[in-house]
Amino acid sequence: MPKLNVNGCNIYYEVRGNENSNDVVVFLNGVMATFNSWGFQIPVFEKGFKILLHDFRGQLLSDKPKGPYSFKMHADDLKALLDHVGIKKAHIIGTSYGGEVGIKFAIEYPEMVKSLAIIDSVSEVDDLLRMFALQWRQLAVDKDPIKFYYGMLPSIYGNTFIKNNRKFLETRGEGLKNVDPSYFDGQVALYDTFLTLNLTPELHKIKAPTIVVVGEDDILKRRKLSDIIVNNIPKCEYVIIPDCGHVTIFEKPDTLNSILLGFVTKNL
């Protein structure tokens, strides 16, 4: 498995798509996920774009050093990966935690960001979101895969998606039974990192064309928190997707893919 050692941490990464293309898309995962969570998006981009995927430090296939980390650390890890692969500038697409890493990367390394797409993400943690994160942290500490999965599930998927995809969700829950216990150690470190998030004062530094996408029914990272991002980034578009919870990449992939492909293509 390809890994790059960055500051003593082995980061798993893959390069896919059209390796001869000068147009690069970087997908940044949600906190509980791994790089293959972008399965609905990769086929849309792989013919015309080079694609970089990786697991953050603390995620499934990367090392899980003791946390908390920092969003600056995640941004520096991504910078090292891009340098290693020979990518000077890319379109950054991140969902949830990945969107927050994308925000920090665009703040720290503006010269490397061609466009920025932020999906169901926040720039700060309010009291309700903090309670969700602390609940997830405790579930991760307990290391019971089924309790963990069903404890977090109601806060991330929309009602319609749950109703129409029960078998899919049950299968994902069963799959978590086989995960290595170290996964939960990484989750604890990532949640502790998330609880330090405070990027709102720096949002004005983002110069790249930006789009913010949020599910209308996202009860975890609510629309009001996306409003904060939109109101503080100078060049920012805003899309609210109806009948959609937090995991837009699964719940409304066709709608999201049209939005992302159109936005990226416009900013080539």
Which residues fall within 8 angstroms of residue 245, CB to CB, at 6 or more apart?
Answer: 156, 157, 158, 159, 161, 215, 217, 218, 219, 220, 251
Bridge partners, 90 (sequence order): 113
Domain ranges of the chain: 3-124+198-266
- Between vectors from CA 183 to CA 26 and to CA 10, what angle results, nearest 5°? 55
Cα 144 to Cα 166: distance, rounded to the nearest angstrom = 21
The pLDDT score that the predictor gives to residue 138 is 98
pLDDT digits (tens), the chain, 268 positions: 689 999 899 999 999 999 899 999 999 999 999 999 999 999 999 999 999 999 999 999 999 999 999 999 999 999 999 999 999 999 999 999 999 999 999 999 999 999 999 999 999 999 999 999 999 999 999 999 999 999 999 999 999 999 999 999 999 899 899 999 999 999 999 999 999 999 999 999 999 999 999 999 999 999 999 999 999 999 899 999 999 999 999 999 999 999 999 999 999 9
* pLDDT tens readout for residues 27-64: 999 999 999 999 999 999 999 999 999 999 999 999 99
Per 3-state DSSP, the chain is made up of helix, strand and coil in percentages (nearest 5) of 50, 20, 30
Token pair for 148: 């963990």
pLDDT, residue 159, reads 96
Which residues 6+ apart lie within 8 Å of 51 measured at CB? 15, 16, 17, 24, 25, 26, 27, 42, 45
CA distance 267 to 113: 11
Spatial distance between the Cα atoms of 167 and 161, rounded to a whole number of angstroms: 11
- Residue corresponding to tokens 């216990």: 181
Query: What pLDDT does residue 1 have?
Result: 66
Rounded Cα distance, 156 and 135, in Å:
13
Task: Answer whether the bond into residue 68 is a cis peptide, omega within 30°.
Answer: yes
240-256 pLDDT, tens per residue? 999 999 999 999 999 99
pLDDT of amino acid 261 = 98
pLDDT of residue 7: 85
User: What are the backbone dihedrals phi and psi of residue 38, each rounded to the nearest 5 degrees, phi first?
Assistant: -90, 25
CATH topology of domain 3-124+198-266: Rossmann fold (3.40.50)
- 80's tokens: 């090292």
Across the chain, the runs of DSSP E, i.e. the strands, are 3-6, 9-17, 24-28, 50-54, 90-95, 113-119, 210-215, 236-241
